[in-house]
Structure 1
Amino acid sequence: MRRSDDSTGRESLRFILIAALIALAAAGGMVVFLEVQSAAEALIWPESPPIPFFALLLTTAGGLLVGLCLHHFGDHVLLLQQSLAAFRKTGRFEPRHLPAGLLAIYLSLIFGASLGPEVAAIDMGGSTGTLAGDRLQSRVRTLSIAGIIGALAGFAIYLQITKTAGGALYPLPPMGEFLPLYLLYAAVLGLAGAAAGVLFVAAYHFFSRLLSPLAGRHLILGVAGGVGLGIAGTIFPLVLFSGQNEFKTVLETGAAAGAVVLLLLAAAKIFASTWCMATLFKGGPIFPLIFAGGTLGLAVNALFPAVPLAVAVPAVMAGMIVCVLKMPAAVIPIVAVIFLQWEILIVVAIAALAGYYATRSVMMFPPEGEGAGK
């Protein structure tokens, strides 16, 4: 009996060690991916455009390159919600698609797609875990989850490089004395953010239907995606890229810009991101939603100064993100962590729950066929 127990213990320890190594490898891979992405962006995009319509030229070239990549290697990169739904159903990723998929995501991001790198983290970590599980012929789902956790940890480690001296990714002024009225503000602003999330979903559906005759024509879709993104980026340069760094600029200059400009900027981000998703740029929606929701929160504060920034920004942001992702248990800690002001946690929770229950029937992808490709 003791020999059996010892054998089981050794197997459990071996599995834990393997899972930890997979997580560590995925974390390191994600940090390298983000560093290489950042270096390429700095090389391609000068601080001052050297010629007129430079952004339009670059995004169009990027769309063409992504189209060529998908034309030659196939389009196997799902959107974030689709990828997670497919994993819930099958319990695995497809490692053979990872190199071409990462290339498509990388090209999309460095050429200014209004999308985030979280899809790269999910695919990289999940595929690493699936590959290990296939080799071991055991616990593929569990090892895939370990890889995803590791890649997301690598993402978090990289974000520490860009944090402010105070520790927050996006610092806000202190809330001051917490008033019970702020709870009502949180609920109302969560609904306002959810309404913006409904616009995000509706825009994606509209663009997808508009472009459906071009399905499978990767080169045409790539050029169309790049031209549309370039036009938006020429008018509002801050809508280019994920919004991770651009939202810091909005926080610093938003008060001077005024409510109207902030509302237009948020709308432009929504349309730019959903246009990218509906064409064939690859990436995730989380940082674009953070940017758009946070910008709308700044507009609320500009229109109603009695609502503190530390209430308006995270509440609208939480309501918008939860409307699109439908995962309040994930949205609440994400929003709380990026601000690192724990007094806003109750505000974020109320806003997220209000936005979630008000828009439960609003789905970017129907439950049936969520895992299918576009």
Structure 2
Amino acid sequence: MAQDSAEQASPAATARTLLPTLVPALLVGMVASLILVGVSTAAEQLQYVLWQNLPDALGVGRYSVPWMFVMLFATGVAVGLVVWKVPGHAGPDPASTGLDAPVLPPTVLPGLLLATALMLAGGPSLGPENPIIAVNVSLAVLVGTRAFPGAPERGWVALAEAGTIGALFGTPVAAALIISEALAGERTKGQLWDSVFAPLAAGAAGALTITLVSRPSFDLHLPPFGQPGWGDLLASVVVAAVGAVLGMCVVYAFPFVHGAFGRLRHPMLMLPAGGLVLGALAALGGQLTLFKGLDQIAELARDPDGWSAGEFATMTVVKLAAMLVAASCGFRGGRIFPAVFVGTALGLCAHALVSGVHPAVGVAAGVLGVLLAVTRQGWLSLFVAAVLVVSPGILALLCVASLPAWLLVTGRPFMRLRADGTSAR
């Protein structure tokens, strides 16, 4: 009887209700994907000039220690100028934002896009996800609420987030999982698939658009992994737990490092100082610890035995520290992609230490643990860890490994700060 009453109070949507949302969702997904492609392409071209053409013209080593210091300091100066002088100051403090981006005024968006492109080209260890989602959300709300005054703002936000996430990962599955996780804490009218219908369409449009334009791939082409054994289960649990602990170390350090840079009080001091610290970290960890990390994990995966355990451990710690510094000093960017690099380096370190740890198991479990700590998004962490290693046998291991790793992170501070500088929970 109670179940019948609940069904009557929350009827499922009809096809007539859902169909009108399809075209706006597809348009939002396509535009969100094209904005991501445009910013990423511009950043890649600038990166080529800054890290190849320019040092070659000057007769300086492309990734020599002096050049890394110069470029990261110069990137801090350039982004600092944007934050200081450009209208809107490139948006809110990135330490206070996540994937659920705020709706920003239109005047903020050009500066935010410029700061993001400069950051991506210059080498700091952050990805494009947070600022691109913020831009796409703000544009979708601006245009959508004017074109359809009766439509709720939250619907446009969900479409833009889903379209961008679909484009970022090249599949709508990630968007559907994240939207479903967000809806789990809300009272939604009707069935879950009714609520994710339009966002799933936006995510599919974003994923298909970027696939047609640039054909992204997350498969690292690691040595094939067959049926899991007891040793693989133990390895996945241990590596995921270690990744979660390492990620939580950064989470707990975040407010203190952010506060240290905050005492400089001006973007033209905070960001160049952060650039100098990042230059020192790059000198310690090498060129693979620069940038957002996707191209670099592919290079690591091409030769899992090409580095020693000590070198993998150094890259793991340096990349974690670089992500922490870049997020603390004011660079505009997200933490998912550098966290993936950290998890990959950690997993290959485990393989180098214990040859019985399969590279695919180590990488997937390491990425899972680090992402759980840094993002606190369970579905996203499982999804990213799984797509890096295209193997059905890895899924059961990851589901089991996620349980103790989640116990280590749940209920603890997020890697996001409140306005007073304390960690959000």
Q: Decide whether the 8 Å contact of 1:132 with 1:143 is kept in 2.
A: no
Gaps of 5+ in 1: 1-7
Once the two structures are overlaid, the 10-residue window that deviates more, 347-356 or 63-72, is: 347-356
Q: Which residue of 1 aligns with 2:159?
A: 146
* Residue 293 of structure 1, CA deviation: 1.0
CA apart distance, 1:300: 0.5
* 1:151-209 deviation digits (Å, cap 9, x = unpaired): 2233325578465xxx6531211123321342232222211111111122234233113
Q: How does 1:123-272 map to 2 (within 5 A)?
A: 123-135=134-146, 136-137=148-149, 138-155=151-168, 156=170, 157=207, 158=210, 161=214, 168-215=218-265, 217-235=266-284, 236-272=286-322
Q: Which amino acid aligns with 1:76?
A: G
Match of 1:70 in 2: 83
Instruction: State the one-letter code of the partner of 1:61.
Output: A
Structure 1 counterpart of 2:390, one-letter code: L
Q: Is the 8 A contact 1:79 1:283 kept in 2?
A: yes
The CA deviation at 1:121 is 2.9
Equivalent residue of 2:97, what SS?
A: helix
Higher relative contact order (CA 8 A, sep 6+): 1
TM normalised by structure 2 equals 0.77
Q: Which residue is 1:291 aligned to?
A: 341
Pick aligned residue for 2:323 from 265, 273, 277: 273
Matched, 1:19 2:30: no
Match of 1:33 among 22, 39, 42: 39
Percent identity over the alignment? 25
Give yes or no for contact 1:319–1:354 (8 Å, CA) kept in 2.
no
Instruction: From 110, 126, 131, give the equivalent of 1:120.
Output: 131
Sort the Cα spacing of 1:107 and 1:57 in 2 relative to 1 into closer, same or farther, 3 A.
same
1-structure distance, mates of 2:157, 2:95: 16
Q: Whole-Å Cα distance in 1 between the matches of residues 342 and 39 of structure 2?
A: 25
Structure 1 residue 362: deviation in Å?
2.9
Does residue 102 (structure 1) correspond to residue 113 (structure 2)? The answer is yes
Kept after mapping to 2: 8 A contact 1:76/1:97: yes
Instruction: State the secondary structure of the residue aligned to 2:52.
Output: coil
1:56 aligned onto 2:87: no
Deviation (angstroms), 1:114: 0.8
Deviation at 1:13, TM superposition (A): 4.3
RMSD between superposed Cα atoms in Å: 2.8
TM-score by length of 1: 0.87
Structure 2, unaligned runs of 5 or more = 1-13, 171-206
Whether the 8 Å contact between 2:42 and 2:117 is mirrored in structure 1 is: no
Asked if 1:111 is matched to 2:122, the reply is yes
The number of residues matched between the two structures is 359
Give, in angstroms, the shift of residue 257 of structure 1.
Answer: 1.8
Q: Is the 8 A contact 2:228 2:397 kept in 1?
A: no
- What CA distance in whole angstroms lies between the structure 2 residues aligned with 1:308 and 1:365? 30
Query: In 1, distance between residues paired with 2:17 and 2:228?
Result: 52
Does the 8 A contact of 1:134 with 1:140 survive in 2?
A: yes
